[in-house]
């Protein structure tokens, strides 16, 4: 029996590490006693997939509530005539951008909008599929669901908090009263900043981290300026989009960590 046990131990030691333990992404690590760990513990021996789904749902509800309340603060306090009346200041920047429109700048802005839509959707899907094939489930789930979280929050918030788009001629034909928040900006933050966060949380040199974050910030800024140039959003809408994107990242991280905690519990039991 001892020889057989030693043989099994040696075989296990020689076996390649499980996909989730290769090249760990520290940002997804679960600290004992943290909120994701407590959340998973409260659900008992539930499968990690269900823990992930419930954490995602709870986080989405919290994100929706925060986004809607912030939107109401913007529309009812900051830009309302009965509040601080910042509508004019929020509009004047868009007027300035529209006055400087040229054919070349318009083409560049169209490209910027695509970086906040089709391009980032393709990147998120490719990353999710690639890591799913590699059986790195939590990274794949993060790449996919961070975008879904952002999209759901944008659509519900824009429906619950209607705000008219800028009064300048708009370069896209979309609903007039869905200005807040900027969905393109939120998606850019969620995908570009979210993926760079995963990338730089691994053992990466300082220069590589600086370059990656610079690229993410420039891409988000490019998307945000493009949407304002096209007359689709005000600066406050863009700011709201940035916060929605950050919120989507935090919720996706929470869900991934909770699923990781549930997986560790099942392995120990």
Whether residue 202 contacts residue 23, with contact meaning beta carbons closer than 8 Å, is answered with: yes
Whether residue 200 contacts residue 217, with contact meaning beta carbons closer than 8 Å, is answered with: no
Q: 123-156: per-residue pLDDT in tens?
A: 999 999 999 999 999 999 999 999 999 999 999 9
Whether residue 248 contacts residue 62, with contact meaning beta carbons closer than 8 Å, is answered with: no
Task: Assign 189 a pLDDT band (cuts: 50, 70, 90).
Answer: very high
> Positive or negative CA dihedral for 132, 27, 151, 91?
negative
Q: What is the pTM of this model?
A: 0.89
Which has the closest alpha carbon to 264: 11, 86, 14, 24? Answer: 24
Which has the closest alpha carbon to 193: 131, 148, 229, 247? Answer: 247
Cβ partners under 8 Å of residue 150, min gap 6: 183, 186, 187, 189, 190, 244, 245, 248
Q: What is the dihedral of CA 227, 123, 263, 249, to 10 degrees?
A: -20
Does residue 8 have a pLDDT over 50? no
Please name each of the domains of the chain with its CATH number: 46-268 (1.20.144)
Q: 246-256: per-residue pLDDT in tens?
A: 999 999 999 99
Q: What is the mean pLDDT of residues 186-206?
A: 90
Give percent above pLDDT 70 in the chain: 90
């Amino acid at each position: 029996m001892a020889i057989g046990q030693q043989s099994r131990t040696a075989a296990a030691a020689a076996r390649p590490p499980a996909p989730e333990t290769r090249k760990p992404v520290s940002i997804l690590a679960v600290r004992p006693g943290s909120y994701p760990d407590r959340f998973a513990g409260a659900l008992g021996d539930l499968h990690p997939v269900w823990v992930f789904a419930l954490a995602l749902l709870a986080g989405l509800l919290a994100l929706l509530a925060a986004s809607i309340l912030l939107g109401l603060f913007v529309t009812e306090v900051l830009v309302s005539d009965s509040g601080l009346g910042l509508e004019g200041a929020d509009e004047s920047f868009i007027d300035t951008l529209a006055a400087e429109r040229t054919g070349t700048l318009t083409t560049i802005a169209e490209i910027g909008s695509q970086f906040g839509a089709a391009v980032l959707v393709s990147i998120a899907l490719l990353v999710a599929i690639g890591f799913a094939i590699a059986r790195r489930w939590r990274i794949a789930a993060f790449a996919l669901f961070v975008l879904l979280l952002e999209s759901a929050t944008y659509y519900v918030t824009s429906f619950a908090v209607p705000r008219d788009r800028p009064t300048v001629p708009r370069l896209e034909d979309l609903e007039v009263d869905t200005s807040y928040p900027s969905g393109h900006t939120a998606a850019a933050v969620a995908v570009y900043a979210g993926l760079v966060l995963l990338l730089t949380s691994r053992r990466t040199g300082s220069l590589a981290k600086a370059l990656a974050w610079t690229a993410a910030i420039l891409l988000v800024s490019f998307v945000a300026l493009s949407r304002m140039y096209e007359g689709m959003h005000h600066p406050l809408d863009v700011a709201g989009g940035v916060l929605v994107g950050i919120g989507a990242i935090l919720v996706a991280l929470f869900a991934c960590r909770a699923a990781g905690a549930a997986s560790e519990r099942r392995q120990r039991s």
